[in-house]
Amino acid sequence: MEKNINLQVENIQENKSLGLLGVIEKIGNKMPHPLALFMYIIGITMVLSFIVNKLGITAISPSTGDIIIVKNLISFETLIDFMKNLVPNFQKFPVLGTVVVLATASGFAEKIGFFRTIIEMFLKDTKGNTVVFVAAFIASLGNMFGDSAFLVIPLIIAALFKGVNRNPIAGLLLGYASVGGGYGTAIIPGGWDLVLTPITIDSAKLIDPSFDMTYMSGYYFTFVSTFLIAITSALVTIKVIEPKLGKYIPNNEEDKEEADEKLTSEKIYAGKKALQGLGIFILTIIIMCIPESSPFRSSTGSLVFGAPLMASLQTLIILFFFIPALIYAKLTKQVNSVKDLAAVLSEAVKGVAPFIVLAIVISQFLSFFSQSNLGTVLAIKGGEFLKSLSVPTSIICLLFLILVSFINIFVVSGSAKYLIFGPIFVPMLMQLGLHPSFTQVLYRMGDAMTNHLSPLNAFFVILLTLIQKYDKNVGMGTIFSYMIPYTVAYFISISAFSLLWLALGFAPGIGSTIFI
């Protein structure tokens, strides 16, 4: 079995900038361990719920008109609920199963050297910064695979960077940030269009009961923004992240020999056969989808709306990694029996063990925060404040981007936020002359600015675990200091792009206009 190359960052601490990012990192690294941090956050949430409840601060739901009251969590009722639901909360943790299973499949492919072989086969002649731009573009498409992209894409890009002698930590950071930024984009219309469009339509009907729009109403905007995010991410990585990280070198002579090892004919043959197997798998799925009676189609014949194909997507992604990796492992004689396979899979899943421990605490926090209604009240109050300002439409759009990106740090669920923001801002911007399709794409881009920055994103902790594989001294502050340049760059590029689109008056997508 090909050994893992444990790479270390060369004098990272000596290369830290002395500016704002260096200060942020220094302060951030003094933060407690994530396990303790989330315990503290739980305590703060409980205290805030008590204070806000006693102050009588409430909000009115824009969709139902109901009064939303912040629940006081300091009560025997909360204690009993916690004792009854500690394990169920953990079991219902949104990404727990996804992380464990995907980490097993993708970790298996990494452990047996499949990723590295394929990357070296296809990119051995690629030189310079082209690799970074290609990686950023791939990562910006990650939203098609759902939340699991936050785990899978950074792993692949880290392996890609390793294969071309770039810092793998830079690959992890680029992959994670680009997946977050890519959530506002869409080369191929997907899940976000299906989730947000009905909310937009219902919100617009508060002003125009006959309003309707297609799922492709924002496609032009999201298509172009894919390239915007990819280019921005690549430039930040090349100009800021990689110089700050510095070069990496193998730990010892054994690692040096492995790092210098070239592709063998056996590995190339195994890699080609593995890709052929992957191609057969993909072709089989496509053929199965063609008949009108296909089991992957819904009762109406759709492959998208209510279709088993969409419900099976995560499993298909897992097989997408596992099948070619298994073929590669067999042909390179790394797996000769079920016992060998079990051993490698066990090693692969060890990488997420720290996350599983943290998930026990994080799942309790998510439960407490949801019960308190603090996030909902915060979002509604912020929206009402923005609505009360008498400023030009372009400034309202800019402030809307800022508000969504800020709230996103605390309320990670994009659909939950839009259920609050949609009924407020869609009608408001309609009255300012903007088509709801443009409000929807603005929301998506604002959400994308800070997806990678929120510590409440369950995958943020996983990113920390992945980076510590290469540098055990990295802490939460280090990650914040590396994520902030991406956030600043996204804010500048997205804001400029959105305001330029508004000024030019281009239609956001098919069947829509920017102005009503």
Six-digit token pair at 444? 């998506």
Is 495 a domain residue?
Answer: yes
Residue 60 has phi, psi (to 5 degrees) of -105, 125
Comparing CA positions, the residue from 367, 458, 442, 447 lying closest to residue 407 is: 447
pLDDT tens-digit profile of 89-127? Answer: 888 876 677 778 877 887 788 788 887 787 677 766 667
Contact 96, 452 (CB under 8 A): no
Residues 434-479: tens digit of each pLDDT: 899 999 999 999 988 988 887 777 778 778 888 887 877 777 778 8
Q: Range with the lowest mean pLDDT among 112-121, 198-207, 332-341?
A: 112-121
Tell me how far apart the alpha carbons of residues 272 and 275 are, in angstroms, rounded to a whole number. Answer: 5
Position 301 scores a pLDDT of: 85
Distance between CA 238 and CA 177 in Å, rounded? 14
Evaluate whether residue 1 is within a structural domain. Answer: no
Q: Which of 79, 8, 16, 5 is nearest to 42 (CA)?
A: 79
Give 279-289 pLDDT, tens digit per residue: 999 999 999 99
User: Is 406 inside any structural domain?
Assistant: yes
Q: What is the pLDDT of residue 249?
A: 64
The phi, psi pair for 68, rounded to 5°, reads: -100, 120
**pLDDT band, very low/low/confident/very high, at 290 (cuts 50, 70, 90):** very high
pLDDT given for residue 371 in this prediction:
86
**Cα distance between residue 361 and residue 368, in whole Å:** 11
In a domain, 487, yes or no: yes
- Dihedral, CA of residue 223, residue 229, residue 234 and residue 237, to nearest 10: -160
Residue 60 forms beta bridges with which residues? Answer: 67
In this structure, of 162-166, 402-406, 411-415, the range with the lowest mean pLDDT score is: 411-415
Quick check: is 127 in a domain? Answer: yes
More confident residue, 126 or 340: 340
Cα 73 from chain centroid? Answer: 30
User: What is the rounded average pLDDT of the residues 288-309?
Assistant: 84
Instruction: Report the pLDDT value the prediction gives residue 190, as an integer from 0 to 100.
Output: 60
Give a yes or no: residue 441 inside a domain: yes
Domain assignment present for 2: no
Tens digits of per-residue pLDDT, 380-404?
776 677 667 777 888 889 988 998 9
Residue 472 CA: distances (Å) to CA of 11, 192, 201, 450 = 13, 36, 49, 25
Under a CB-based contact definition with an 8 Å cutoff, are residues 160 and 135 in contact?
yes
The domain of 331 spans 7-504
Which neighbouring-strand residues pair with 67? 60
30 falls within a domain: yes
The DSSP annotation for 419-475 comes to HHHHHHHHHHHHHTTB-HHHHHHHHHHHHHHSTTT-TTSHHHHHHHHHHHTT-TT--
The partner residues of 250 in beta bridges, in order of sequence, read 7
User: Any idea how long the chain is?
Assistant: 516
Q: Select from 515, 516, 432, 513 the least CA-distant residue to 217.
A: 513
**Residue 441 or residue 248, greater confidence:** 441
Angle value at C-alpha 343, between 337 and 348, nearest 5 degrees:
130
Confidence (pLDDT) at 123:
65
The sign one gets for the Cα dihedral 164, 121, 150, 223 is positive
pLDDT digits (tens, 9 = 90+) for 6-26: 433 344 344 444 455 555 556
Q: What is the pLDDT of residues 174-200, one digit of tens each?
A: 999 999 999 888 887 666 777 788 888
- pLDDT above 90 as % of the chain: 28
Rg of the chain over Cα atoms, rounded to whole angstroms, equals 24
pLDDT at 236 over 60: yes
* Average pLDDT score over residue span 368-374: 83
**Residue 369 confidence (pLDDT):** 80
pLDDT at residue 253 is higher than 70:
no
CA 100 from chain centre, in angstroms, equals 16
101: amino acid identity, one letter: V
What pLDDT is stored for residue 257 in this prediction? 44
- Work out how many domains the chain is built from and give that number: 1
More confident residue, 105 or 332: 332
Asked whether the beta carbons of 217 and 439 are under 8 A apart, the reply is no
Q: What confidence category does residue 352 fall into, taking pLDDT thresholds of 50, 70 and 90?
A: confident
